[in-house]
Structure 1
Amino acid sequence: MQIGIVGQQDNPRAASLAGDIRDAVDVSVVVDETTGETLGTTGISVDEMSQCDLVVSIGGDGTFLYAARWIGSTPIMGVNLGEVGFLNATAPENAVPTVQEMIEDHESGDSTVRTLDIPRLSATGDGWTLPPALNEIAVMGPNRGPNGGLTTEVRVDGSLYTGGHADGVLVATPAGSTAYNLSESGPLVHPNVSGMILNEMCARDGMPPLVVDPDAVVSIRADDAPAAIAVSDGRIHKEVDPPVVITVSADAPPVRIAGPEIDFFTALGKLD
């Protein structure tokens, strides 16, 4: 068995905990390059961890999203060093024994891996595709505010849902309902509910947020702006020239999560 560990960058506590896990187990352990520098060892790129049997993410939800973006179908266990932790179910003090339990289960053939019933989102345009998003795809203008934004037309399976001037449009998963969507006054959706959330950002004459079938295809036409920017999970950007149509669908492979169940309502209680 081989375990990959991705630590939150510039967080000594994450690197120290990665070292504790490495020293406590008797299987092969690799760490990301930044963590490796802190620990005085050679690290590997995160995308190489797709060959591991388990990846441990140590940090906040952002670290989890970063790791999940590159590891494909490899199971991921999140250790929460952040304030809320909707994706990280393991407390730091439980990290070592939980990983040891994962190893024992792997060796005995017991499955402690579950698949979120929330496929990741794919966003495609003319000749390009963004890396899959677990939280949301955002389509926006280069600037927000009265003189920014763009003109949008949002269709669901070809039928017009809304259109007009807005700072942008979000297509979020239930897992992402507590992230960017919530900051734009979108609804909370329990992660066990299947669907995609459509939410306009500061629309002049927009429609309320809408939850649609997870098999739906959402198309966003962007116009009347010097550029349109599609963003996957707040990290990966693609800038294109309007007019342009960007298609979003929930057909990317789902994330596989190892470890204890995430307590959604406990995490909600930590929100400001």
Structure 2
Amino acid sequence: MPTKTDEERVPNFGYAGFRLDAPDASVAWNLQRGRSGQNATGDALPHNPTAQTPRRGAPPPPLRVSNPKVLNYLDDRCRVHKETINLCKSVLQRKSIDWISVQRNDMSNPIHDVDLVISVGGDGTLLRASHFLNSSIPVLGVNSDPTCPDEVDELTDEFDARRSTGHLCAATAANFEQILDATLDGSRQPSELSRISVKLNGLQLPTYALNDILVSHPCPASVSRFSFRKRSNTGESSHLINCRSSGLRVATPAGSTAAMLSAGGFVMPISSHELQYMIREPISPRDADKPLLHGLVKQGQHILVVWYNEEGAVYFDGSHVMHSIQHGDTLEISSDAPILKVILPENLLKQGS
């Protein structure tokens, strides 16, 4: 267990989540502050040309928030997260389950020898845990602080009151014990979700994406230059497309409701084993290329990418996992990856049936 208590480790702002494994497993929790250059509401901070970059390990600067209602709101969010953490711990302590705790940022090795991973937080916590799981260990997501639509509407003119999405989370604090019992006794079975495999110059990258990957220049204002084609395992391929764009996004069915949908993609059945890809903001594409800028990668197919910028990056499930690429590198992107077993919420189970 961590040497400090939850009360000491979690300040009264930000977002916390944790992960429980059972038996012989671990609990992980995480705190995330606002991104650099933003205040607690997500608004951009004034530019200060004399400001210096904080030293690594230096304490963070104090928050600058003009609206005290924002701080009160964040304090409430932290309180709800901690209450959910304590509730989950209490439930586990009442059952014949062995578990230990591990901080999320300390996770660096694959998880083995556990029967179940329980992620408590939101989809981001579940995605992070998935990067350390093979196809044999199921994960149950608990949304620790679901968004309240009425509150979002009430506060929309003041700040963004949306909380955790929890699209893949089957449980909340209200039904955690019920879902856990159903999982442990076998009446609630995990679903098998596709993940994305990426080979760099023929070598398998160690991370498999549960939501999506983005191949792009590391600077969002720069043009991404690459070529790509779809190719089947039998050798058949589409014609080569040379792209200047904002990058290439590839999503799983689970990730098709996220950035892919926001960019104009479509929702895929959660049980599908195909991938959806889209060229982001293509610059002056040829008419012959347009039908191939957005489509599906079926089982037995992959996308072959050749990168032409001096630098580039492959982002897995957001910005937390990134692999650098350079001019001339090739990427092979497919669904030829270990599945992930996830206890899904009822609405997704109905969608997949």
Partner of 1:9: 31
Distance of 1:12 and 1:32 partners within structure 2: 21
Q: Give the conservation status (yes or no) of the 8 Å contact 2:297–2:334.
A: no
Residue 178 of structure 1: how far off its partner (Å): 1.4
Partner of 1:152: 226
Q: Counterpart amino acid of 2:27?
A: I
Partner of 1:245: 330
Q: Counterpart amino acid of 1:19?
A: N
Partner of 1:94: 175
Residue 233 of structure 1: how far off its partner (Å): 1.0
Out of 280, 304, 310, the position equivalent to 1:226 is 310
Q: Counterpart amino acid of 1:226?
A: E
Residue 265 of structure 1: how far off its partner (Å): 8.6
Distance of 1:205 and 1:264 partners within structure 2: 41
Distance of 1:178 and 1:191 partners within structure 2: 10
Is structure 2 residue 182 aligned with structure 1 residue 120?
no
Partner of 1:18: 85
Is structure 2 residue 267 aligned with structure 1 residue 193?
no
Give the direction of change, closer, same or farther, for the CA distance of 1:216–1:153 in structure 2 (3 Å limit). same
Partner of 2:125: 63
Give the direction of change, closer, same or farther, for the CA distance of 1:101–1:63 in structure 2 (3 Å limit). same
Give RMSD over aligned pairs.
2.7
Partner of 1:76: 139
Q: Give the conservation status (yes or no) of the 8 Å contact 1:198–1:211.
A: yes
Partner of 1:137: 213
CA deviations over 1:11-56 (Å, ceiling 9, x no partner) = 5544442332222232112233269xxxxxxxx8474643221111
- Which structure 2 residues correspond to residues 199-214 of structure 1 after superposition, within 5 A? 199-206=278-285, 207=290, 208-214=293-299
Give the direction of change, closer, same or farther, for the CA distance of 1:259–1:218 in structure 2 (3 Å limit). closer
Q: Give the conservation status (yes or no) of the 8 Å contact 1:89–1:263.
A: no
Task: Please list every run of 5 or more consecutive structure 2 residues that lacks an aligned counterpart in the other structure.
Answer: 1-21, 33-77, 148-164, 232-236
Percent identity between the aligned chains?
22
Q: Give the conservation status (yes or no) of the 8 Å contact 1:22–1:29.
A: no
Residue 8 of structure 1: how far off its partner (Å): 4.5
Residue 75 of structure 1: how far off its partner (Å): 0.8
Residue 209 of structure 1: how far off its partner (Å): 1.4
Residue 262 of structure 1: how far off its partner (Å): 4.2
Distance of 1:137 and 1:260 partners within structure 2: 24
SS at match of 1:65: helix
Q: Counterpart amino acid of 1:60?
A: G
Give the direction of change, closer, same or farther, for the CA distance of 1:69–1:184 in structure 2 (3 Å limit). same
Give the direction of change, closer, same or farther, for the CA distance of 1:260–1:169 in structure 2 (3 Å limit). closer
Task: Please list every run of 5 or more consecutive structure 1 residues that lacks an aligned counterpart in the other structure.
Answer: 36-43, 267-272
Partner of 1:41: none
Partner of 1:215: 300
Distance of 1:85 and 1:187 partners within structure 2: 19
Q: Give the conservation status (yes or no) of the 8 Å contact 1:170–1:200.
A: yes
Distance of 1:79 and 1:191 partners within structure 2: 19
Give the direction of change, closer, same or farther, for the CA distance of 1:12–1:242 in structure 2 (3 Å limit). farther
CA deviations over 1:47-73 (Å, ceiling 9, x no partner) = 464322111111111111011111223
Residue 192 of structure 1: how far off its partner (Å): 2.8
SS at match of 1:160: coil
SS at match of 1:19: helix
SS at match of 2:31: coil
Is structure 2 residue 102 aligned with structure 1 residue 32?
yes
CA deviations over 1:171-190 (Å, ceiling 9, x no partner) = 11111111221232222223
Distance of 1:265 and 1:111 partners within structure 2: 16
Distance of 2:119 and 2:108 partners within structure 1: 11
The size of the alignment, in residue pairs, is: 249
Q: Give the conservation status (yes or no) of the 8 Å contact 2:197–2:335.
A: yes
Distance of 2:28 and 2:180 partners within structure 1: 14
Give the direction of change, closer, same or farther, for the CA distance of 1:154–1:195 in structure 2 (3 Å limit). same
**Larger mean Cα displacement after TM superposition, 185-194 or 231-240:** 185-194
Distance of 1:49 and 1:134 partners within structure 2: 16
Residue 259 of structure 1: how far off its partner (Å): 6.0
Give the direction of change, closer, same or farther, for the CA distance of 1:161–1:196 in structure 2 (3 Å limit). farther
Q: Give the conservation status (yes or no) of the 8 Å contact 1:197–1:210.
A: yes
SS at match of 1:87: coil
Higher-Rg member (1/2): 2
Q: Give the conservation status (yes or no) of the 8 Å contact 1:7–1:32.
A: yes
